[in-house]
Each structure stands twice: as C-alpha cells, then as structure tokens.
Chain A
C-alpha cells in the first residue's frame, strides 16, 4: 500500500491506484518465471515469519499464566478452534490445523499489507482463487469419502415440495459451484478495493487545497481497512467452516 502521491511528478492529477499491485522481481529485472523471487514472494515469506513469531515464539514459554504474546496466540487458537467446533461440528476438528493455516495466512497477509509501502498478497486473485479452490476441493472430496453418494443429498432439498425439488437441485448445484468464485473474489476484491481507494485519496493530496481533506479521508479509510483486514479473514474462515459442515453433515 504505497501511499506516496504519483500525481505531483507531471504537474497534473494522475492516478495509478493499481500500480501498488504490480508484481515485480525482487532481484534484477528479468521476466517472472515460476520460481522467481518477487515482491509477492517476499510478503508471503514475511507472513510466514509473522505466523511463526506469534504462534511459535509467542507460545515458547508454555506459561500457565500467559504473557501478552502468548495470550494473543491462545486467543487466535481458541477463536478458530471454537469456530470449527461450533460451526462445523466436533468431527470437523481434524481440519482445525488446516482452517487455522488459512486464517493465520490471510489475517497476517492482510495486516502486513496495511503497512505503508508493503505489498498485499491477498489482493491477488491468483492467491485467493487457490485458497478458495483448496477449500472447495477439500469439501467435495471429504464429502464424497465420508458420505458416498449420500453427499448428493446436499442438492436434493427433501423438505421442499416434490415438484420444486428438481428446480431447487439446479439452483443448489449452481450455488455450490459458485462458492469458490464468491469465496475468492470477496476476499481479494475487498482488500484490493480498499487499497486502491486509499491510493486515489493519496493522489488528491497533490492539490494543496484538498490535501487536508485527503489526509482525513485516508485516515478514515485506513481505519476501515484495519477492520476489513480482520473481518475478511474471519469471513473466509467461517465460510470454510460452513462448507466443511456441508461435507460432514449433508442435508438441510
């Protein structure tokens, strides 16, 4: 989220709100291959470091009376553990490390992305689509393994009148396959939009008269973005739990 104003360079107002999302190689200037280390790689690695700092280093003392760091780690643990247990059921707790991985990565990437000059990995559809597809595939595979063909009962609403059921089945089927799309675009869209809006306000700051208003607007948007960073991670995780519940207990 580079908040420096581009507009001033050429005298007029020029916005490049999307430039902050450009992926560049970190070393050299060559083409981006599969293993090229880019700014996205760097910020993903920093997210890993942040997760390790919080969850491993934070809990290293194993104190019965926790320190602040350990409290936060325990809070994150309890938050997701309870979410999986409450939303998806006790038998979904085998997926707890998986759900925790998704949550910790998204929340850390979102918050790291809020640092000035940083790069937000979760603003890219490549990332969120993979995250959503992983959930989608997990849910589908687990659903069929645990329930066999009974998993298809998810699409056959047995509580509806018989005549409506085929229609509902089609709707349910479409909504099932739209899930990964909405799941991924919601996260990337929210994060990208917020960062782009901040960048647009930053562009306006080049005009001296408007700049105080612009700074106020940036501040307000930033506050909102802090909320969005957590809420979108929460939403992604809780939807994962809801889908897992469908896989483990199909039927309405």
Chain B
C-alpha cells in the first residue's frame, strides 16, 4: 500500500517537475537524471567496486567474526545452563542426603529412646521386685514378731490367770492342786 501511494507521489512529483520545466526550461537539466544513460557506465563501475569491497570485507572479516562471537556466546550460554543444571542436581542430591540423614537420625533416636525406656523399665521392675521382696520379708518378720508377742501374751495371761486362780483358791481356804487349776484355767481361757 505504502509503495503504491509512494509511486503515485513520485509521479505527481515528476508531473510538477515537468510543469516547472515548461516555465523554466533553460535553467534546469532535462528530464530525470536517472534516465541520463551517459552516467550509467560510471555508476555501474563504481557500484561494482563498492559491492566487491563490501563483499570481501563482510565475507573475510566481519561475518566470520560475528558468527564466531555468536557461536561463542551460544556455547557459553549452553555451558552455563549445563553447569546450573549440574548444580541443581547436586543440590537435590544434597537435599536427599540430608533428608536421609534426618530420617536415619530419627530412627536412631527412636531406637535409643525405646532401648532406654526398656532399660529403665527393667531397672524399675527389678527395684519394684526387690522392694516387694523386702516389704514381704519385713511383713513376714513383723507377723512373726506379732505372733510371738501374741503367744507370749497368751502365756502371760495363762500364768497370771493360774496365779490369780491359785491365790483366789488359797484365799478361799482351799488347797489348790496346781494341775487342776491349770486345766481349769486353760479351759476357761479357751472358752
């Protein structure tokens, strides 16, 4: 589109030019300088020189150099990305190792805790058993002492009763047969 309007504008300009020529033909060069074929040879010669120079400068110096720079940059970027990926993999590995260590430590801690608990439980059980045994021994001892004391007390009661009975019999003027009194007292105390 822009091309068309442009060409149209160019033609308009040419027309204006032509009109200007009609009025002022003497002062200006004729027609379009582009169509003055006497200058073509000169232009074409210098254009070929220009193109050859540009071609050699570009193909021998500029393009290989820029191409090398671009390739080097691409290489650097690729290397950097590879290095970054490697580091990332290492980081992941390290994280996995850390997690593993953490899990191991947790298991170890649990094991130690369980062991310690069992040990303490065993000690506790032993202590409780010992204490129980001591308590049982003390209890048995106590019971024995109580039984002894009770037996002694019974014996003392019997003696006192015998003595009292003998004294009562004597006081009443009877002659007390020690054996009969004892039997009688025993029967009464039991009863």
Contacts and interface: CB of A to CB of B under 8 A. Distances in A.
Contacts of B70: 74, 77-78
Q: Number of contact residues on B: which range applies?
A: 35 or more
Contacts of A220: none
Interface string A173-189: 00000000000001011
Contacts of A62: 65, 68-69
A196 to B, nearest CB: 4
Contacts of A56: 57, 61-62, 65
Interface residues of A, number: 70
Nearest to B45: A34
A244 interface: no
Interface in A25-41: 31-36, 38, 40-41
Interface in B39-73: 39-51, 53-55, 57-59, 61-63, 65-70, 72-73
Contact of B42 (A33, A52, A73): A33
B16 interface: yes
A127 B69 CA distance: 33
B33 A23 contact: yes
Contact of A19 (B19, B28, B39): B28
B42 A23 contact: yes
Interface stretch (A93-101, A141-149, A157-165, A205-213): A93-101
A125 B35 CA distance: 8
B33 A193 contact: no
A100 B58 contact: yes
Classify the secondary structure of A's interface with B.
helix
Interface in A197-243: 197, 199-200, 224, 227-228, 231
Contact of B9 (A40, A48, A59, A193): A193
A14 B10 contact: no
Contacts of B33: 18-19, 21-23, 124
A98 B56 CA distance: 10
Nearest to B53: A48
A247 interface: no
Contact of B67 (A77, A104, A199, A227): A77
Interface centre among B59, B67, B69 (most CB of A within 10 A): B69
Contacts of B68: 62
Contacts of B51: 101-102, 105, 134
Interface of B: 2-3, 6-7, 9-14, 16-17, 19-20, 23-24, 27-29, 31-36, 38-51, 53-55, 57-59, 61-63, 65-70, 72-73, 76
15 contacts: A15-B20, A18-B14, A21-B34, A22-B29, A32-B38, A40-B39, A48-B54, A64-B76, A66-B69, A101-B54, A101-B58, A101-B59, A127-B44, A193-B7, A196-B14
